[in-house]
Structure 1
Amino acid sequence: MMTTDTRDPNRLTAWAHGGGCGCKIAPAALQRLLAQVPPHLAPPELLVGTATSDDAAVYRLRDDLALVATTDFFTPVVDDAFDFGVIAATNALSDVYAMGGQPLLALALVGMPINQLPEAVIARVLEGGAAGCRAAGVALAGGHSIDTVEPIYGLAAIGTVHPDHVKTNAGAQPGDVLVLGKPLGVGLLSAALKKGVLDADGYAQMRRWTTLLNRAGAALGALPGVHAMTDVTGFGLAGHLLELCRAAGLVATVDRAALPVLDVSWALLRQGIATGASGRNWASYGDAVDLSALPQPEQALWQTLITDPQTSGGLLVACAPDALDAVQAAFARAQGRPGWVIGHLQAAPAGTPPSVCLR
């Protein structure tokens, strides 16, 4: 006997077990899975593959040109179908920018419960994705769709970069300054939205930052003083910063007073709102994050914040101190304000594994 799904088609988040980049497989589980995959072909033209947990693959076509290839997709992080499409597209294109590249072409990846969601709702998701690509000057040239239990949308994206401008997780150096391009707290806002406690101002903040393209990445890639770059997404600030540290054998010190945080996120934190992904993230890498310098009553709040999954989060840049002005100027040109200086990197002491310390 066929049953009718009674979930509200106007509440897309009700159709998903999680939302946005909070749906990512936890870092520890992902590492275990990838460890079982046999070594694969890595021709010399493959400049960036899986070795450094980078945001995209890079393949050299000639001495002055390389392809950047990536894919990203997820379940709804918001209820508005159009906004979901824009956010998902913006997030997927970010991986090209994070390598120092310029996105050119995208293919849509679409999974929808076709007999449960109205076609008009699905069409709005597709419209939003197209609008996100259009804002980036990217050709949305096709895609693939399947019938799924949960709504899924994202992109496979292709861009280009000069091989000398590629920025990976592995290039950071001792003494580098850390600069973050967007404030933290998006995961908290999405959790509040799903619980029905996010107000209009909170939603406006969430939409503003998740639809802001990380287009500064292309200019940052051309700066020789930028040594490494990634974007902060599902593993939270601590997780993606730890990937930078592990790839380069460094220790990061982050100044909590300098961290940009969305205003409404603090109130949500104190109400005990958090995503399930935050806990999974901490379980995966918390032993490499030092919170001991913080007052004991504050440690749980900061732990939740720095592990909060950031859907379409900001670029995280490691640059030489004398390149900081140029980095800030690139952010200001691309998104209307400079990035936030949040800390620095230093060599890990002998016998000490790479780590992140919040002070």
Structure 2
Amino acid sequence: MHQDVLSSRVQSYDGIPAWLYDKFPAPAHAYPWPLNSAPPVGDWFFGYITEACSHGFQCLYDNVSGAVESMSKFWRLVAKTFGGYSNVLGYELINEPWAGNYIANPFLILPGIAGSTNLQPLYDKLAKAIRSVDKKTLIFYEPVTWGVRLNGKYVGTGFTHVPGGDSYRDRSVLSYHYYCIVLSLDPVPGNGTIPIFERVLCDDIEGPAVFESVRVDLLRLGGSAFLTEFGGCDDSPTCDEQLRWALGAADEFYQSWAYWGAVRDQKTTIDRLARVYARAIAGKPILNMYVPERRYFYLTYYIDTTINEPTEIFVPNLHFPKASYNVTVSDTLKWKVDSTNPNIVLVEPSDQLLRNGDAVIIGTVEINPKM
């Protein structure tokens, strides 16, 4: 469910139906308290600070006027309707959930408290409704946006299990977003260059903290993770700098990603987002990287000969038209182009490796442009 600032009643759009928000009791102070005036359109996110918004979220979490039951029925209907579609990746329960009524309970500002008190109980109930009609489709669950910088009971996500419990680990995806805070608060003009101090804060401190925090949570919770929002910038050098770092980090941490924004007329952004990547690895990855300036891809992994499917590497036609690339693999591997999709390179254990039956073998794959 996509939402920003919950409701049209607080000058946003309806993440939850207006009729449901209208059933909630009025907050102690009218919108936009404690702000003096409604936030301008460009600063819409300050709407979360208003008591009217925070109170509305808390009413949802507390099942006021049967809000949780209504939302459960909604998700059950969605799952029943779309669960059989092969092109449905998953169900994301709530986009960028707010902590709740932090004015009534200031401890909710701590992301771990918000997660354990408000989000996890809601997610368990929604997951139960979905799983009553759809046992297979992935469920994406998201902490508060500032809950993926650190780990721990109070400063992490606050989750102790995936929605529905540990038996659903293999169908659960921790959803998270990354927008560097300093660039959000102090945007750099699109035709400029990100100052070195801000690049250090983003690329060396905050960004790595996000990906490492998610990695640690996955070790504890199980399941997978997906960077479901990043970018959201224009077709500019500043935007390109941000994308380059985030995409490289996603490769390093083996994270799926989804860019936020419309790019159909943004050639620089499209060029940056079109990348060579391994969409399936028949073994345990060691290193995965793509250097866009050189159009160079490198993958090394422990080969698992018990896996009967090949490693699959996507090669975008945008950067390699008419298969204008060279593939180099180690002696332990062999490769071919997928006969049904010319943009896919299939990599399998070599015949010699299969005959020898070696226990622990490392394979490498390199892809370069033809010169």
Relative to the length of structure 1, the TM-score reads: 0.25
Relative to the length of structure 2, the TM-score reads: 0.25
- Bigger RCO (CA 8 Å, 6+ sep): 1
Larger gyration radius, structure 1 or structure 2: 2
